[in-house]
Amino acid sequence: MKEILELLRKNAKLTAKDIAKSLKKNVSSVEGTIAKLEKKGVILGYKAIIDENKIKDFNPVRAIIEVQVAPKRNLGFDYIAKRIYKFPEVRTCYLVSGAYELQLVVEGKDIHRVAEFVAEKLAPLEGVKGTVTHFFLKKYKEDGVIFGKKDENHRMNISL
């Protein structure tokens, strides 16, 4: 099971046949395992990693927003996190350690929409004590995939 998950994590386009061949297993066994994992909610979805810079008119603005919250009595952080992650602008939401309790990845059409989200939706929420916003400037690597040209070896040959 772990081997199947790891292969799918690296390449969601792999077919059950590809996985079975790689792991030297029966195709129907791999298909059954994947179906069980989907049914149990272990596999929640599949995604493509896209280099948006190569697509005209497709450059959403993203920001990491650190959120300091006061958890609601008897409900903890889950209550406020659920209220926040339901906003469509929120792409990712984590409970983290440190000075801020929640870390969000937020997406908007432009910088003004992201700022508007923070000012009008996020900051006024009951339980939100403060936010810090960091805008993404350039993407170098995502989920193990490097963007742009691969580095070539620029070392000089040295012979003795």
Looking at the structure, tell me whether residues 6 and 32 fall in a common domain: yes
Same domain flag for 69 and 110: yes
pLDDT tens per residue, range 2-19: 999 999 998 999 999 999
Answer whether residue 62 is part of any domain. Answer: yes
Distance, in Å, from the CA atom of 39 to the CA atom of 21, rounded to the nearest integer, reads 23
Q: Which residues pair with 128 in a beta bridge?
A: 69
pLDDT over threshold 90, residue 23? yes
Q: What is the CATH number of the domain that holds 72?
A: 3.30.70.920
Q: Which residues pair with 22 in a beta bridge?
A: none
First and final C-alpha spacing in the chain? 51
pLDDT tens-place string over residues 36-58: 999 999 999 998 888 887 888 87
State the residue range of the domain holding 118.
53-139
Residue 148 lies in a domain: no
pTM above 0.75, yes or no: yes
